[in-house]
Structures are given as C-alpha cells and as structure tokens.
Chains A and B, each alone.
Chain A
Amino acid sequence: MNPQALARSRDFDHRGRAWYVDRAVTVFVFIGGTSAILFIGGIFAFIAREGLGFVFSEFDAGEFFGSIAWRPTSALDATYGALALIVGTASITGLAMVVSIPFSLAAAVFIGEFARGRVRETLKVLVELLAAIPSVVWGFIGFSIMNSLIIDLFDVPIGLNVLNAGIILGLMAAPIMTTIAEDALKAVPDGYREAAEALGATRWQVIRKVVIPAAKNGLVAAVLLGVGRGFGETMVVLMASGHSINLPDSVFDSVRALTATIAAELGETAVGSDHFRALFTLGILLFMVTFAINLAADTIMRGIRRKGERGRP
C-alpha cells in the first residue's frame, strides 16, 4: 500500500473510506466481544424460561432437597425429590477429587519444577492429549473395561458404581488441574527460587517452602476448576455410575447423577410438561453451582494477577 495515500486518508478533516471501514470494524468486533456475555445470559434466560415456571408452580423445596423419590413419570403422584441425584453427583465428584487432586498436583510439581528439556515437553504434550479424550470414550471405558475389572477385582455383583465413575472422572479431571496448577507454579517469579537457592536450599526445600506457598491461590483455583469439571460431566456418569436412584452406603453402590438424569430423560418427555420443566430446574441448579465455582476460581486467580507486578501491558 502506498504510504502517501494512507497518510492522506487519515487527514483530520478527511473522513475517507478507510475511516468508515475502521468505524464499521470497531462496531463489529465490539459486538463479537460482547457476544460471550450475550450467550451466557442467553443460556441462563432460556433454561430459566422453562425451569422457573416449574419452580413457581410444582416446586417444593423440602421435597426437592429432602426426598430421594424422583418419580416424574408417575401418573397419579409425580414426585420430584432430587436428594439422591445431588448425593450421587457429590459422591462421584468427591471420589474423583480424592483420586485426582494428589496425582494432578504431584504431576504439576514434577512437570513444572523437576522435569527439564525433552522429558518436560513430552509430559506436557501427553497431559494435553489426555485432556483431549472425549467424555463419551471415557464413559465407554468405564462401561466396558472398568466394569468387568471391578467385578473381578472386588468380587462385587455390579461394576457400574461410584468407584467406577469416580476413578474415570478423576482421570478425566486430572489434566485440566495439572495444566492450571503448573501455570500457577510457573507464575512464581524465578527471583524467589534464586533467593532461596542462594541460601543453600535444596530444590525440594525451595518447592515446599517457597514455590508452593507463593502459588497457593493458583493451586486452589486449579482444584476448584477440577471440581467444576467433574461436577458438570455428563457422559461418564451416565455410562459408568449404574444410573440407579440410591443413597450410596459404599463406593460399590450404583448411584445416579444430576447431569445423567437430564441426559437420560430429556428425550422422553413432552415439551412443556412438568417433567420437561423439572429437568430444566435441575439445569438451573447445575448452572448456578458451576457459575459459583468458576466465579470463585476467577476471583482467586485475579487476586494473583493483581499481586504480581508482571501484568500484561
């Protein structure tokens, strides 16, 4: 492009084609930028549109949170007790976190602080590929492989239970936790490490007494996002948890999760029926809990960014 022509088009009194194109693009990218807000608002509006009608008519908070009787298809006396579903989701997510938190944090420390060069790059790529495995494939693994493995190993009648779904979900949530935790460790300025090393600390002492305390908030955020991921996962809990309404006594009991209930029943309900709207009410619950988890994680991470002097320009 000819620079003189460019310069002329920018004369202060001359609003040429370039000026109008620039305005138009500014408007276009602004719309694109705010679309994310539009979509998240739209998601809430549309699930609330169906779900709130139920909340204000049939909904009974005592029954919803206190009863395990989820019998939406009963013709005479349909009941919508979500307690067993909430406990199911909580038990699977809880076990998943027991599995994945220690392993993810250990992997993050190893990859971020110990591994060097080629080993480190390879591990990072492997973790990234681990995160890419689709949830339905994980569900299939739970249904076909883990199921018979658990039956053989523990001599129980059915292998589709809290243990199965929890382990699979833990493996699934681990990569995202590892990645975010490693980012948090990386965000600790090298000056901290160098100062500790200069005092004669070994690498492990540096990590334990300097790096981990400094990265504490980021690690908490990583765990929170892992919890959010496990809480909202659908296909794994649908395929591997046994999908039976039940308050579990042990990890070998089958349970049913909130997400799986929506996935299993939405296709069989009439649009606009109480059952249909009740499933959207479960959706509101899921939306609000994950929103709270994400908000908490983001607030914690923002605190870190503000404290660090190396913010982006």
Chain B
Amino acid sequence: MTGTAAPLFAGTSLNARDRKVEWLVRALLGLMTALLILPVVIIMALLVVEGGPVISWEFLTSPPVDGMTAGGILPALVGTVWLVVVALIASVPVGVAAAVYLSEYAPDNWLTRAINLAIINLAGVPSIVHALFGVGAFVLFFRFGTSILAASLTLAVMTLPVVIVSTRESLQAVPRAFREACWNMGATRWQTIRRIVLPNALSGILTGIILEVSRTSGETAPIMFTGAAFFLPFLPQGVLDQTMAMSLHLFVITTQVPDAPEALPFGVALVLISMVLAMNALSIAFRMYVRGRKKW
C-alpha cells in the first residue's frame, strides 16, 4: 500500500468539492468508455449501409466471376466452414484433455507452471509466426502441401489456448464436493470426471468451442500460405485440397483487385463480421443462460 504516515482521508471528504470532482471523473471516464465503443458502432453501421445492398441469396450461393469483380462468395463461405470444422476436430480433443489434466490432475509444480506459460505464449505469439510454423511444419516437413489440412492444423495450434482456458474454467467451476461425493462411492478418478465433472461442465465447454469457431473463422495470416487460395472457382473435395476462405477473400478483393466495385468488399466484410459476431453473441448468450440456471 501507499505507506504514507499522513492521513489519507481528511474528515471533510464528503464536502461539495469532492462530490463535484467525483461527478466530473465519473463523467470523463464514462465519456472515454463511450468513445472506445462508439467507433465500432459507426463502423458496423457503415458496413450495413454500404454492404447491405450487395448481399442477396445469389451472392451467398454463387462463385465469384469476372476476375472476382462480380458474382458471389460461395467457395469462400464453404472453405471457411471446412477450415473451421477440421481445426475443431484437431483441437477440441487435445484442448479438453489438456484442460482436464490442468484442472483435475496437475500438481502445483514446475511442469504445470511451464504448461501455463506455454498456453499464454501460444495465445500471444503473433499470428504470422504461427503461419511460419505452419509452413515449416505442416506444409514442408509433414508434406501436407498447401491444403485445408495444413491450414486447419495451423489454426488448431493457434486457437488451442481458447479451448483450454475456457474448458479449464468451467471444470474448476464444478464444486469440489461433487467430486468428493463420487470418490466416496468408490469411483475412480476417470469415472468421476466422466460421470460428474464433464456433464456439469459441458455447457461451459460448448461456450468455449463456439468462441473458438468465432476466432478461427476470422483469422487470415495463418492460412495465407498454408492452404487458403486467392481464387478457386470450385469447392474443395477433401482435406488435401486448397480452398478459398472468407477472411483471405476480403483481403484479396480489398487490396489485389483494384477494379472491384466499391460496395463488394463491404458486402464480404459484412458477411464475415456477421458470422463472427453472431457466433460470439451466441456464446455470450449461452454463458449467461447457463449462469442463470446454475443450482450451486
């Protein structure tokens, strides 16, 4: 603490001047908070106004044509779904296992600290470094080539911390008494986890997975060189194909296709941000619903 000998608070602290300062500070901080959020509201409104007219059923269900200056975004949408699904298949089992270990097994020792530090760094390493890793490891070393598999595995490594952290939190929210009751019945550790801990934490785990879907579908840098293509007129047939992706498509038509109509990238951005924010809102709503229902 401050450690000063002088009295911190004079007896006159509830006088009018202090209340005025308090009111001013409160207004200033509130204003700054609003200023932080306001640009985003304006940007969203702009995206809807500029990009809204572009979006139609046909836009969502047809491939781009005429050097990507017209047509729709179907291959990019389908490609993003491929990338997200394969990334989830790879990262959810590993992430949940890691969270179970950290929450139910890990002793408080150097190894656990090292794991936690590794998780923080996986989340903090720049996305372009993950891309370099994906190129070095999955594309070249494991010879997957530039493919959905390589891109999804890169995304899986990158978003692993999201699954681990949210799952660990929901596992730790299950009261210890639940576990003890089960152990006293003679159940093994795993029987307790499978019958008691995981079912009670399931909704929290799902929230984390939805959040990961949201993160994964918006990432661009990690997939640029590992599996996402600038333009492919057809849909991917398997995990060793390349694919278009929404995020890279937005980058490409914004910076590489100068004669694209001005509204087109706004439309793509609107679809992408709607996907991501809808997923995020779903996860937040789910979390609030679960929290409201909890019996302990």
Contacts and interface: CB of A to CB of B under 8 A. Distances in A.
B47 to A, nearest CB: 8
Contact of B126 (A18, A109, A196, A259): A259
A191 B118 CA distance: 34
A139 B251 contact: yes
A202 B19 contact: yes
B221 interface: yes
B127 A200 contact: no
Interface string B242-268: 000001101100110000000001100
Contacts of A43: 122, 125, 129-130, 133, 157
Interface stretch (B61-69, B71-79, B93-101): B93-101
A137 interface: yes
Contacts of B143: none
A84 B9 CA distance: 51
A213 interface: yes
Given A39-B118, A213-B1, A287-B129, A205 B13 contact: yes
Nearest to A34: B115
Contacts of B5: none
Interface in B135-172: 135-137, 140-141, 157, 160-161, 164, 172
Contacts of B58: none
A145 interface: yes
Interface of A: 1, 3, 6-7, 9-10, 18-19, 21-22, 25-26, 28-37, 39-43, 46-47, 49-50, 102-104, 106-107, 109-111, 114, 123, 125-130, 132-137, 139-141, 143-145, 171, 174, 178, 196, 199-205, 209-210, 213-214, 225, 228-229, 231-235, 239, 259, 262-263, 266-267, 271, 279-280, 283, 286-287, 290-291, 293-295, 297-298, 312-313
B101 A30 contact: yes
A136 B122 contact: no
Contact of A291 (B8, B121, B135, B218): B121
B190 interface: yes
Contacts of B221: 135, 234-235, 259, 263
A-side interface mostly: helix
Contact of A140 (B121, B172, B254): B254
Interface residues of B, number: 102
Nearest to B215: A132
| B22, B104, B118 interface centre (most CB from chain A within 10 Å) | B118
Contacts of A239: 251, 254-255
B132 A312 contact: no
Contacts of A22: 188-191
A135 B216 CA distance: 12
16 contacts: A6-B187, A9-B186, A10-B187, A33-B98, A33-B105, A37-B115, A110-B33, A137-B276, A139-B254, A140-B265, A145-B46, A262-B132, A279-B132, A287-B126, A293-B124, A313-B176
Contacts of A279: 132
B206 to A, nearest CB: 17
Given A22-B191, A34-B115, A36-B98, A129 B281 contact: yes
Contact of B100 (A29, A102, A145, A196): A29
Contacts of B254: 139-140, 143-144, 239
B132 A204 contact: no
Nearest to A132: B280
B48 interface: no
Contact of A266 (B30, B115, B135): B135
Interface stretch (B34-42, B81-89, B233-241): B34-42
A200 B33 CA distance: 27
B269 interface: yes
A204 B25 contact: yes
A280 B225 CA distance: 13
B111 A34 contact: yes
Given A29-B101, A46-B136, A204-B22, A234 B40 contact: no
B281 A104 contact: no
A215 to B, nearest CB: 12
Given A130-B40, A132-B276, A145-B46, A201 B125 contact: no
Given A37-B115, A50-B136, A232 B37 contact: no
Given A33-B98, A232-B128, 7 more contacts: A21-B190, A133-B273, A136-B248, A145-B43, A232-B124, A262-B128, A266-B131
Contacts of B161: 36
Nearest to A133: B273
Nearest to B182: A6
A40 B164 CA distance: 14
Q: List the 6 closest A-B pairs by CB distance, nearest first.
A: A32-B97, A134-B218, A232-B126, A33-B101, A46-B136, A106-B32
B148 to A, nearest CB: 18
B250 A136 contact: yes
B126 A134 contact: no
B251 A36 contact: no
Contacts of A203: 22, 26
A36 B122 contact: yes
A225 B124 contact: yes
B295 to A, nearest CB: 21
B106 interface: yes
Contacts of B128: 232, 234, 259, 262-263, 283, 286
B36 A135 contact: no
